[in-house]
Structure formats: C-alpha cells, structure tokens
A and B are shown apart, each in its own frame.
Chain A
Amino acid sequence: MDRRLPPREGEWIDRSQPVEFRFEGQSLAGFAGDVLSSALWAHDVRLQGRSFKYHRPRGLYSLAGHDANVIVEDGRRTNMRGDLLPITDGLDVYSVNTSGGLQRDRWRIMERFDRFLPVGFYYKAFHTPRWLFPHYENQMRQVAGLGRVHPGNAAVETPKDYAFCDLLVVGAGPAGLAGAIAAAEQGLKVLLVDEQPHPGGSLNWQWSGNPAAQEQFGGMLEQVRAHDNIELRCGTQAAGAYNDYWIALVDDRRLTKLRAKAMLVATGCFEQPAVFQNNDLPGVMLASAAQRLLQLYAVKPFDRAVVVAANSDGYRAALDLHGAGVEIAAIADLRHDGEPTGLAQNAADAGIEILAGCAIAEAVPSGGKARIQAAAVCPLEKDGSLRTGSLRRIECDGIAMSVGWSPNVGLAYQAGGRFRYAEHVAQLVPSSLPDGLFVSGRANGRFELHDQIADGRRAGLCAAAHLGRFDGNLPDSPQHQASPPSHPYPIFSNNGKKNFVDLDEDLHLADFKNAHQEGYDNIELVKRFTTVGMGPSQGKLSNSNAIRILARLNGASINETGTTTSRPFYQPVRISHLAGRRFHPQRRTPLDGWHRQHGAEMMHAGAWMRPEFYTTSGSTRDECILAEAKNVREHVGLIDVGTLGKILVCGPDAARFLEHIYTGRFEKQKVGRLRYGVACDETGVIIEDGVIARLAEDRFYVSATSSGAAVFYREMQRWALIFGMKVTLINATGHLAAMNLAGPKSREVLAGLTDADLSPDAFPYVGVKEATVAGARAIVMRVGFVGELGYEIHVPASQGWHVWTSLMEAGRPHNIRPFGVEAQRLLRLEKGHLIVGQDTDALTHPFEADVAWAIGKDKPFFIGSRSLDIVKQQSLDRKLVGLSFPAHRSGPLPQECCLIIHEGEIVGRITSIAPASTLGHPIAMAFLRPDLANVGAKVTIRTTDGRTADAEVAAMPFYDPDGARQK
C-alpha cells in the first residue's frame, strides 16, 4: 500500500530522483531525500525494528534520531538509525539484533519471559554455581548487543578540519535563524549549524500550515543566505562542547574542530512521549514525528488516528493530519480544561471529537503487534490517575502523542550552563549560563513562534554585546504566557505492563517502581540500576519522564530530584571521524636513508627510528650482531648516534649550573676535556647520564639519552630559572648528525679526513676538539662507551651523510663496518656501562647502580643530593653487578628481567644480558642483594619456563678492565 501523498510545499524529497533500496531482503523504492524510515512507512512497512530486550515490534517514533527503534546494518556499516539514514541506490540493509529476520525474529519469545526478567534481573541470578556463570554470561552476551562488527573492513582515514568563528549558532530553527541574523548584523562572524539536511527546524513541519510563519521563514532564510557574515552548514551536528568553546562539529564526511568565541544554543526541544500500555508499538509516535513524516516526506502517517494532547501543538498536529486526509478519530486531551486557544474551535470545526480530561490507557495491538488497531481512551481523575472503569475503545491505526517537550540543552550543559525546572513551562530552563553562552527559543522555554524569534534576536544581540560589538539596549524577550506546553506527569498505568518509559532499554513504569522499592531512589542510582538513558539515544526521550516518575515516587519536586548530567556526544560519532588520519610523528636521523639502503633492520626507539643491526645474507640476527661487535673489537665500526640528545650550555654560570644538575664536578674541568655525568631527580633517583664536554670556559656541550633528551632539556631550562643563573641552553639534538667511529683502526680511518692532530698526546682519551672532518665543522670527542679507541663526531645535520660516507670510504681498507644498536648494547655491556632506564628503574639511586663514584666529593648541592644524604644512611637492598655464565653450558639462558632466586626468595633481577659476547661466553648485568653480591658468588636465575640457570658474580668491566684499549 502506498502512503505517499501528492507533492507538498516544502517537502524534502526529490520526486525526480527515484531510489531503489532493499530492506530485510525486500526491494523497495523511495525518493532522494527520504530516510529509510520514511521510505518504509511510505510503503506501509511499519515493523521496522525490534526492541533491545523483549524484541518487541517497533516502528518510527521521533523521525528525528531521538529514538533508537530502528537500527540497521548492511554487512559493512553497523548501527545506523533508520530515521537518520538517507536512502541511496543499492542500499541493502537488515535490522540489527534479530534471529531469523525482523518478521520472524525468534528472540521475540523473550517477551513471554518478561515476568521473569524484572529490572536488574541479571543481578539477581546466574551467579551460582560459579562455574555456570560463564555459560550464562555467554548466552546473555549473544542476545545483547546490537549490530555486528566486520573485522574485514579496511581502515578508513578521515581527514579532520578546523574552523573559527565569533559566534556558533546551533540550530537553524526560528530562534537560531533570528539569532544568527541579529549577531551578524552587528558584525559577528557567525557559523550556523543544523543537524538536519535543511535549515528551518520546526518551521519545516510544525508551522507549515501557517502562511505568515512561512513568509517569515522565507524572509529569514533569504537574509541568512545573503549575509556575508553567516556561514550555514546543514547536516552538521554540534556533537560536543568542550572548554573555551572548542566544539566538535560532525557531518557525514568529517569532524571539524571549531574554535568559537561564543555559542548560542537554539536547539529546540525533544518531543516527549506519553507513557501508557503499548506506547511503543508501530503506529504510536510523537506528533512531531507524524508532522515530519507528513510535511518533509509527504507520507500519510495513518488512516485514522487518535491524538493524545496536552498542549496547543497537539491541536496543530491534529489539524495538519486532518488537512492531509487523516481521519482524526478523537483528540484525547490530558487537561481537564482542554485547549484554551482558538485551536480547540478549529478542531471542533473540522469535526474532530475532543475528549478533555482523557488519556490513552492502552494502544490495542493487532495480531503480531506490528500494528495497532485501537486506542483505549480513558477519563482521568482529578489526581491524574486513570478511571479505568470507563475505558472507551476507539478504532485507529495510529496514535500521535503531543504531551510535552524536553529542552535539547546537552550542549549548553557541557559548556557550563545549569538548569532548573520552571513550572510555567513545566520543563527545564537555564538557571545560570557562563560568559559567552546563550540559549534561546524553545530550549529557553519560548514556544510561540513570535516569542522564539524575539528570543533568538535577543540572544544574538547579547552575544554581540558580549563580544563588544553592540552597546545598544538589549531587548527583553517575553516569557511564555499560555498554559505550559508540557504536561507535568504524562504517565498512565492501567495495571498492565509494557508502558514504556525508555524504549531503548525496554524499561517500563513498573521497573522504576521496583527499582525505587529496592532503594535505588536517587536519580543517578536509578540511572545506573535500571540503565535508563544509557541506550543509543542517551535518554533523549526517557530522562525527562524518568525524573518525573522518580520525583513522584520520592514525593519531591523535580528540582529536588535533579537531573542527570550531559556528556558528549549529542549523537554517536564514528570512531574514524575522531581518529582522523592518525598522525604519529616519527624522527629519523640524517643518515636514515643510508641505513635503509645498506640492509639495516630498523627499530623504533621512542620517537626515533634506529638501525638495530645490518643484515648479511646467510647470517642470523644474532650472528650479524656478534659479527658487528667483533669487527669493532678487531677492526673498526661506525654507528649512527644522531639520536643522542645534544645540548649546549653556555654562559658565565655554565659550569656552576652543571654542578647543580649533575652529581659530579665541572668547575675545574679543563677546556678540551670530557667528563661522564649522572643526573638525579630531587628524590635521588637516576634520571639521566651523558658526556659533558667543555668547549670553552663558558661553553659546554652535553649529551643526553635519546629518549630522555627532550625532558632533560626542559627540566634544565626550569632549573636555570629557579637557580637564577646566567646560562643559555640550546637543544641542538636535531641540528646535528652524530656518529661514533670505534675500534683499534679508528685513528687511522679518521686521520686522513681531519685537520685535527690525532696523536694521543694532542688528542688523548676523554679529549674534545672542534675540528673539520671531511671538510665539515665538527665536534670530535674521544669517548669510550664501547671500550675501544673511538671518536664521536658531531657535524651539522646537512653534512651528516657526506661525513658518514667519507668515513666509510676511508675505512674500507681497514674493514670498516657499520654497526647497529644491538652490537653497541653488547659492547657497552662488556664494558659494564649501564643504560639508564634499562639497568636502572624508576627508583634506582646512584649507590644501587654502583655509580656513586660519579658523585663529586664534598659538593654542597646538586639536585637530589639532600635525598641521597638520607638514602646513604640506609642499608642497600640491591646493587648492580655483573654476572658471568660458563661458555659451555646447557639449558636455557635467562632473559632480561628474569629473577634471581635465593632460598625461595626474589633477591635480584637481570637488567641486561648478552647470550653471546666477544668474550666467548654469556654475560649479564643484574640487580642483586648486596650480601650475595661478592665477586665469585654463585647465583641461580629462574628462566621464564621455570627452569634455572647458574651464573657467577663477576667484576665489571668484563672486557679490558684497565681501559687500555680505549686510551
């Protein structure tokens, strides 16, 4: 049956563009501009979804995305709302959460068990015997949940956008349009957004029979479109408001992050349902939904309807429907006095029976409950309860509910607005708004069209005044004068069940009474226990009634009962929109390309990429690493150390400053010499180590760990301020390339490329020179990290490649090989050098790490010194030691962080281990209880598989203990 009406003025469908789509396997046609629910209803497909818990038949309800009755998936996308999903050619969707299809859904049997499943039933059972719970939980998980995910879906990378404006106006209805115009006229740059595909808000469907309103609408729209200061974006929801008017705007394609200076919330209201038996079945809908269906999509909602009304809007809806050929069987007016305006007479003139002081007690379902066949209308007692003895059955296929509104002010709440219940409108209105936030229109309790427009204009001018663009008199806007547009308690029980308060969660009136009886009598407890408002539509149609119910149960006012808070998002937002393109910055040294060209296996090292080792065909990873290390010991190797932090410390106080930062002494350090430095935090924990080179009396060049450099530099800057010292700090980490040439042949390799005198007397161990290397200005340092003769060469980043390749070329006769991070780790372990962060942890102090020698004698102060004075008095409970494993051994080797066990207790932990070393046997560094740590003592380490490995405490360094080779 076709319910599509002839073309209507202002309809949103484009009849020139027919669209073919499929729903539950059935081919159907609609028009461009239709949403799924409107196109289905046009074919009289009323059963469009199933409810979450009882699998009750559901149809369209708000037609504005305020409910979650109709949720579909298409095998790729999931959880799409039927009343928000535009139909497109080829759309092929199925209802979520059914077993065997929407019509025959096997889970509809759940409704038969409703008496077993009261509110919170899952707290009351299934937990004993304990072993059965996983079985029950699994079954419950299967029936819960809505749509399916599709692990085969490819990642979607969605660019984000940014926008800026003076005033964001949310909602392009009467108040929003008027506000935007008023603000723009004062020179504000206005961004006006509306979630619907067309501007106008309620002007599109609520006032469509009113020629004066339509003329005003047309006029305002023309002004908005013509005004240079207004940008109008439709199909755009303001999804969340964050600090300082940082707003998430979401449209179909992307997230736009907007920085506004002020915000005007003109978002109108959510129409609220009445609560009565079977108020959820297809055919029962909000009057606004019926009007939207009629005016926007030109679909005849019903053939014969009963309107339940508690305000003028209901009469307007009845007249609209009547005008479109719907037979209005009756208006059941909850108010004993009926409608005070002339609309009552208009309805009477149209032949509509008006039943004042009556409610609907029940929507009478047809077989299968996919439709309704009648409304049971019932007179109300003065106290608002049903006089159930006098039920009158009125045949109808539709019930339109117009009993009240709830302001759509989540965004204003998030921006800091607070609200109170006002009796004159029987809804929440703003009680306090922070600077820059304005609310107008129905969201501000203004319901008459001219009031809404006046209020929008007021708010627009207030925003202009707030931003210093208007200093005239700010107009007042008239308060709502007529009877309240919302009924204070549109909730009716005729002792039957299935009078739904929350359709998302299948909560009916009794659930609230029962929860209250159990002591969940605070709105937040009610919410958490019943899950009201927790479903996909986030309580847009349920929170208001839930509060009214709770207030009555508590015998308290609405304001005493309180409201629940509002959190982003207004409507659910796709993860891909929020994730965007997922930028993760990565740092590469100037030599990165060379490594990749030469077979380097690259590894992530914090933000950096570094060569782990260089692959050689026919060799395993471990063989490659050992070969690189041996080549350094026997010949010469070159490693990229460009990731090291490089900090210049300059100024008259530079040496004194470093004495504060590091544990060691620097005042008497000679120019041209290096010192090793350890830095602690204020608690005495080691945070950094590095080499400090004195380039001049007032100029030091400091290296820091790759991952710690940025933070170390930042903290040095702060300490310089606190100490009030004359120092300048420059973080040159990214400015310079750095490489370490190491091995017995390194002097010969470098000699031909530099103007520096490399003779041991002129350039001894721990010397530093500024020189040229391969023509580039360089800082050259004689360091010994890997334990061989070596030169660390720092050159401008732009020269790095040239210097590196020059060294490789010069080293060719000497068997030079590049080596990676792993070989370096092995070589330094052989030398007993610790790595901060690997061989130390978040609590390690210098005494434990055995670097107390790096603490300057009799220093009055360094950061952490006072704490170390205290720690020093305490007995050590662990100490960093070397461990040596026999060369010929069987059984597993421990890995890093395996534990040392003594008499059943944890007495230590491996911090670094080399399964193979140039020494011919495995070595390790470990924390160990000091009483067990004498050189030569045997220790037992538990391997990850629970076996044990034996090792011996060894003196460090393992290799070249006298340091002869690096001199």
Chain B
Amino acid sequence: MKILNCPINGPRPLQEFHFGGELRPNPLDRKDGADADWADYVFNRDGEPGVKREWWYHIPSGTWFIAERDNVTDQFQRTYLYGAEQTDG
C-alpha cells in the first residue's frame, strides 16, 4: 500500500485517504460562459497520462489537500493545502 504525505498529518497509508478527482476551476469563475463551455467544465476531464493536480482527503482528520501525482507511475510528487501551491508538502 502506498504512503501519502498529508500536509497536516504527515505520511499515512493510502487506505486512510479518499481520492477526490482532479483539481478543477472554481465553478463561480465558469458559470457565466456559454452552455457548451459549461458542459465541458462539468463533464470533461483531463484524463491524460501525466502529472496531475488532484484532491485528496484524509478521512480520519477530515483534511482536504492537493497532491501532485504522476498517474502513470503512481508517484506522489508534492502535497499541499488548497491555495498553498507555493509551499512544498
């Protein structure tokens, strides 16, 4: 089982985490666009191979954070709290 470094709780086994999908724009910034753009925002995903920014949630402590992960090698590269992109996890 993988180990994931929660920015609050430190390295913990992956079983303690919930995957929350890719980091997407704030809907408030998208809601005024065309219908087609909204549908693209709602449904389409960046499912390509590569390093992704993703939401992860530490279940026991209720902590959401962002992880940068290569979805091919499954290597976590960085983790940090939402809005704290500058900080290394």
Contact = CB atoms under 8 A, between A and B. Distances in A.
A244 B73 CA distance: 12
Nearest to B18: A714
Contact of A870 (B2, B30, B39): B39
Contacts of A718: 20, 55, 57, 64
Contacts of B26: 722-723
Nearest to B32: A866
Given A714-B18, A714-B57, A870-B38, A721 B27 contact: no
Contact of A683 (B2, B14, B18, B43): B43
Contacts of A863: 27
Nearest to B2: A243
A57 to B, nearest CB: 45
A683 B42 contact: yes
Contacts of A866: 27, 30-31, 38, 42
A944 interface: no
Given A721-B64, A722-B26, A244 B38 contact: no
Q: How large is the interface on A (under 10, 10 to 19, 20 to 34, 35 or more residues)?
A: 20 to 34
A645 to B, nearest CB: 14
Nearest to B63: A717
B80 to A, nearest CB: 12
B72 interface: no
Interface residues of B, number: 23
A246 B28 CA distance: 42
A682 B42 contact: yes
A714 B62 contact: yes
Contacts of B83: 721, 724
B3 interface: yes
Contacts of B88: none
Nearest to B20: A718
A244 B82 contact: no
A134 to B, nearest CB: 42
Contacts of A870: 35, 38-39
A242 B1 contact: yes
A242 B3 CA distance: 11
Nearest to B27: A682
A859 B89 CA distance: 38
Contacts of A242: 1
B74 interface: yes
B64 A861 contact: no
B57 to A, nearest CB: 6
A852 B30 CA distance: 23
Contacts of B20: 718
B39 to A, nearest CB: 7
A731 interface: yes
B64 to A, nearest CB: 5
Given A683-B43, A718-B20, A246 B1 contact: yes
B27 to A, nearest CB: 6
Nearest to A860: B31
A242 B14 CA distance: 12
Given A683-B42, A717-B64, A870-B38, A865 B31 contact: yes
A244 B1 contact: yes
A158 interface: no
A243 B82 contact: no
A731 B35 CA distance: 36
Contacts of B28: 723, 861
Contacts of A244: 1-3
Interface in B1-47: 1-3, 14, 18, 20, 26-28, 30-31, 35, 38-39, 42-43
A867 interface: yes
B29 to A, nearest CB: 10
Contacts of B3: 244
Interface string B62-87: 10100000000010000000110000
A865 B28 CA distance: 11
Contact of A867 (B14, B18, B38, B74): B38
Given A683-B43, A866-B31, A243 B62 contact: no
Task: Please classify the interface of chain B as helix (H, G, I), strand (E, B), loop, or mixed, using the class held by over half of its residues.
Answer: mixed
A861 B31 contact: yes
A302 B87 CA distance: 71
A721 B20 CA distance: 13
A717 B58 CA distance: 12
A45 B55 CA distance: 63
B73 to A, nearest CB: 9
Contacts of B43: 683
B69 to A, nearest CB: 12
B1 A722 contact: no
A246 B31 CA distance: 44
Contacts of A246: 1-2
Contacts of A721: 64, 82-83
B1 A243 contact: yes
Contacts of B30: 866
A721 B39 CA distance: 23
Interface string A837-877: 00000000000000000000000010101110010000000
A724 B55 CA distance: 16
A243 B74 contact: yes
Nearest to B4: A244
Interface in A656-693: 682-683
Contacts of B74: 243
A493 to B, nearest CB: 43
Contacts of B18: 714
A683 to B, nearest CB: 5
Contacts of B39: 870
Nearest to A684: B42
A863 B39 CA distance: 14
Given A242-B1, A243-B1, A865-B31, A731 B62 contact: yes
Nearest to A711: B18
Nearest to B38: A866
B13 to A, nearest CB: 8
Nearest to B55: A718
A362 to B, nearest CB: 50
Interface string A246-266: 100000000000000000000
Nearest to A714: B57
Contacts of B27: 682, 861, 863, 866
A431 B39 CA distance: 47
A867 B30 CA distance: 11
A717 B82 CA distance: 12
A242 B13 CA distance: 12
A717 B27 CA distance: 16
Interface in A762-803: none
A549 to B, nearest CB: 33
A628 to B, nearest CB: 37
Nearest to B35: A870
Interface string A712-743: 01100110011110000001000000000000
Contacts of A722: 26, 82
Nearest to A721: B82
A647 B28 CA distance: 24
Q: Which of A242, A683, A718, A866 has the most CB of B within 10 A?
A: A866
A244 B43 CA distance: 33
A706 B12 CA distance: 28
Which of the listed residues A244, A246, A682 has the most CB atoms from chain B within 10 Å of its own CB?
Answer: A244
Contacts of A724: 83
24 contacts: A243-B1, A243-B2, A243-B14, A243-B74, A244-B1, A244-B2, A244-B3, A246-B2, A682-B27, A682-B42, A717-B57, A717-B62, A718-B20, A723-B26, A723-B28, A724-B83, A731-B62, A861-B28, A861-B31, A863-B27, A865-B31, A866-B42, A867-B38, A870-B38
Given A244-B1, A246-B1, A717-B64, 19 more contacts: A243-B74, A244-B2, A246-B2, A682-B27, A682-B42, A683-B43, A717-B62, A721-B82, A721-B83, A723-B26, A731-B62, A861-B27, A861-B31, A865-B31, A866-B30, A866-B31, A866-B38, A867-B38, A867-B42
**Nearest 8 CB-CB pairings of A with B:** A243-B2, A866-B31, A246-B1, A721-B82, A244-B3, A244-B2, A718-B64, A866-B38
